[in-house]
Structure 1
Amino acid sequence: MATDLRLPTSNIVLPDKDRFLNEENPFEAMMSRFDRAAALLDLDPGIYQVLRHPEKQITVSVPVMMDNGEVRVFTGHRVLYNTSRGPAKGGIRFDMAVNLDEVTALAAWMTWKCAVVNLPFGGAKGGVVCDPLQMSVGELERLTRRYTAGIIDTLGPDSDVPAPDVNTNERVMAWIMDTYSMHVRHTVTAVVTGKPVEMGGSLGRREATGRGVMFVVREALAHLGRPMAGATVAVQGFGNVGSVAAKLLAEQGCRIVGISDRTGGFHNPEGIDVAAAIAHVQKHKSLDGFNGGDQLSNEELLELDVDVLVPAALENVITSKNAARVKARIIAEGANGPTSAGADAILEEKGIFVIPDILANAGGVTVSYFEWVQDRGGYFWSEDTVNERLRDIMTRSFQDVLALSRQHRVNMRTAAYMLSITRVATVHKLRGIYA
């Protein structure tokens, strides 16, 4: 679908930098980027108001019978931010830090992420406030099924399609799919993605986000005239996304000189054996005790002098407090929201090429889309086909954002938001407002 991305000739009003007062609030951070892009687009005021508000916010009580016979009541959220382009898509996380602001921000991010890679999805996110590490498998299953029952009116392959997120996995998705299927009285594989392959999951899904990071890093290095071979990389966060990205970048010839997880990290200018690090984590559940080089903290890893920095762990690890000390030439945001809004201007002034999260980590939702398509068609692709189609979408999306960035002389983050907002706004204009 063609979209008009010409800048207006006047009346461009950028948000004041003083807006970045609360770097810790994820919704404010997301909205500050949205406002900047909307101002540059001279967005219609009515569409602006629509896109600034979530369509639906659901909060449910989740009573669970614990193994000791005690009944505990947990709080669950599900936010559908925008569904103008298609069914809502977004993960479900189990974590003590879950709150409505965070879930709403992540649902908005999913809206822009799906649009920037041009998937026919809207954005959603969900979560339950709990500590899954302190719960048994049985307790987690009962929690998952009761939470699913609480939000079941929104779920469905044509309305809202969850996926794994922080502290959830294939098994949790299997429970959600089974609960939904039991309610509708027939098996519905397309109601979730990130399922076991045996239940309609897609080959290549587990590695998709890290693989997508590799693809956009390759494009960014080529754009900046730097070879992949020998490019130095530091990866903060050695979970699924970070470890896969490190492995694939190493296979492309990059030298992984820094890795870290919640227990700390390692720096080795000669290169870290990524395969050995992955094997250590699989055996010991963390990098603690790995002999991969000189020990350093997560904060120190962010300040290494490298070609590429991949923050693939938590939100807000690069802020106005440490952005000036970041030395990487390229930042590829494997995590959601690793850079605060207040850090954006500092990184741009330093000339750091930032590949924003809504583009850099969109590989996961792209292959989730492939899984949804395969489930609905009942025909499944080879892993090579999945990876080739992922490469095509990530490469094209990077080039679309880069072209817009160069055309309008804005950074990649602003260009990505401009592209995604335009795509969502265009559909709203075509559909109109139902009254």
Structure 2
Amino acid sequence: MSEHQAYSFFESVERSFDKAAKFTQWDLGILEQIKACNSVYRMRFPIKRDDGTIEVMEAYRVQHSQHKSPCKGGIRFSDEVNQDEVMALAALMTYKCAIVNVPFGGGKGGIKINPRNYSVYELEKITRRYTSELVKKNFIGPGIDVPAPDYGTGEREMAWIVDTYASLKPGEIDAAGCVTGKPVTQGGVRGRKEATGLGVFFGIREVCNMPDVMEKQGLPLGIAGKRVVVQGLGNVGYHSAKFFRESGAIVVGLAEFEGAIYNPEGLNEEEVFQHRKKTGSILNFPGAGNLAKNTDALELECDILIPAALENVINGENAPRIKAKIVGEAANGPCTPEADDIFAQKGILCVPDMYLNAGGVTVSYFEWLKNLSHVRYGRMEKRFTENLNTHILSQIEELTGKQVSDGERKFIMHGPEEQDLVHSGLEETMITATREIMEIWKSNPAIPDMRTAAYVNAINKVATSYSELGIFP
């Protein structure tokens, strides 16, 4: 580890927390309770590999806060998984849910494996065994703790979890709500896949629509025409790039772990994705220049930089060379506290991860509600809205004697489907959260950056919750 990262991920979360706590009026005891991880479950279990050998797995589930139930947070499959990382991510989940007004406490899970080294059958055995270990200790359930996908997991793993849970809890009518990020056929919600990337886009778009903020950054209002660099072409990076491009931004750089590419004229994320699928690398993409190291992309000339890969990629060493005016943290913890300090000196606006990438948990919340209500969004109102809109439209046409164009007619008559409602719920959530954070920052000029303002917002909400529960007589 370099001297720039002398403390652990959890310590860096605590450091950001302490920095913000100074700007709140809460009692020290309440602040200590919010910071503490309530429960840490560290487990070991054996798995029989396809070749007959037995391997002992190391896995975790952390419940950081129960100020609201259930706890919520992803499960990652990665070689890097350790207790400190899972605790840090669980703490960030508590603050993230508070900021976007989703009524969950923070949780996180992880299994210390590289999924690439296991067959599908082995991964299924690992996932199902992990689930049964969680059930044994009451660490999973629609009202207790609701996992979701994270790094190295997806819909497939969530389907295995819900199936295992339901088989161990026969007759539990809300079993589908024990996990989110499921396939749509298993109670998942449409719009979940692109949720985090879309949330990143909505958050940055709202910041770019604030005249005083844009003036300070020396940028024109709006997204159109802004040059964007995205590091990471996974689910979050891909969708972030897509929504920025579709709204008129120019995606000038894309990076993946094998390297990075640059084209000042703009890149199409889907074409790059297909090129990578075909050749195994994003390098040598037609019309784009190659950059030797993927981290070189972070230092490109651009207006908006979106690190959407792993933590600590921007640190005290490379932060002075960042040229972007706005950094949008799509990944968890991509910037270290030293980077924050350097950004503050340079006047770079860093839009923090803990709220910016909350699209996933927001839509997970919609999925959980769908599971508890046992009805899909739009089913009750779609036709009613369409019939009403059709009637209004025909009345207007009759009264004015004018016809509406086909395109407009289609748009006006359209009744909301599940995906429309999920996207609009996410848009509302991100806009409200952005405005709340900016209000706090504006009302106290001593707050050094947007991350601290976001933490202040989170601390106030969680502390209010605790004090109203009467936990502290």
Note the alpha carbon deviations across 1:343-400, whole angstroms, 9 max, x for none: 1110011111111001110111000000000110011121011101110110111011
Instruction: Summarize the alignment of residues 220-299 of structure 1 with structure 2, pairs less than 5 Å apart.
Output: 220-223=207-210, 224=214, 225-283=220-278, 286-291=281-286, 293-296=288-291, 297-299=293-295
Normalization by structure 2: what TM-score? 0.86
Mind listing any 5+ residue stretches in structure 1 that lack a counterpart? 1-19
Distance 1:267 1:289 in 2: 10
Distance 1:80 1:391 in 2: 28
- Partner residue in 2 for 1:9: none
- Partner residue in 2 for 1:168: 153
Instruction: Summarize the alignment of residues 34-433 of structure 1 with structure 2, pairs less than 5 Å apart.
Output: 34-152=17-135, 153-186=138-171, 188-223=175-210, 224=214, 225-283=220-278, 286-291=281-286, 293-296=288-291, 297-381=293-377, 382-409=418-445, 410=447, 411-433=449-471
Distance 1:394 1:369 in 2: 14
Percent identity of the aligned residues?
A: 44
Distance 1:366 1:285 in 2: 33
Is the CA contact 2:233–2:255 (under 8 Å) kept in the aligned structure 1? yes
RMSD: 1.5
Is the CA contact 1:22–1:28 (under 8 Å) kept in the aligned structure 2? no
Structure (1 or 2) with the larger CA radius of gyration:
2
Query: Counterpart of 1:158 in structure 2: which amino acid?
Result: G
Is the CA contact 1:23–1:340 (under 8 Å) kept in the aligned structure 2? no
SS in 1 for 2:271: helix
SS in 2 for 1:230: coil
Distance 1:406 1:146 in 2: 49
- Structure 1 residue 150: Cα displacement: 1.4
Distance 1:50 1:74 in 2: 31
Distance 1:126 1:284 in 2: 34
Distance 1:25 1:125 in 2: 17
Distance 1:277 1:268 in 2: 12
Distance 1:42 1:245, change over 3 A: same
Is the CA contact 1:23–1:319 (under 8 Å) kept in the aligned structure 2? no
Distance 1:122 1:241 in 2: 23
Distance 1:286 1:392, change over 3 A: farther
Mind listing any 5+ residue stretches in structure 2 that lack a counterpart? 215-219, 378-417
Distance 1:171 1:84 in 2: 30
Is the CA contact 2:37–2:87 (under 8 Å) kept in the aligned structure 1? yes
Normalization by structure 1: what TM-score? 0.93
Which has the larger displacement, 398-407 or 105-114?
398-407
Distance 2:468 2:280 in 1: 50
Which has the larger displacement, 361-370 or 282-291?
282-291
Distance 1:67 1:278 in 2: 32
- Structure 1 residue 273: Cα displacement: 2.1
Distance 1:400 1:23, change over 3 A: farther
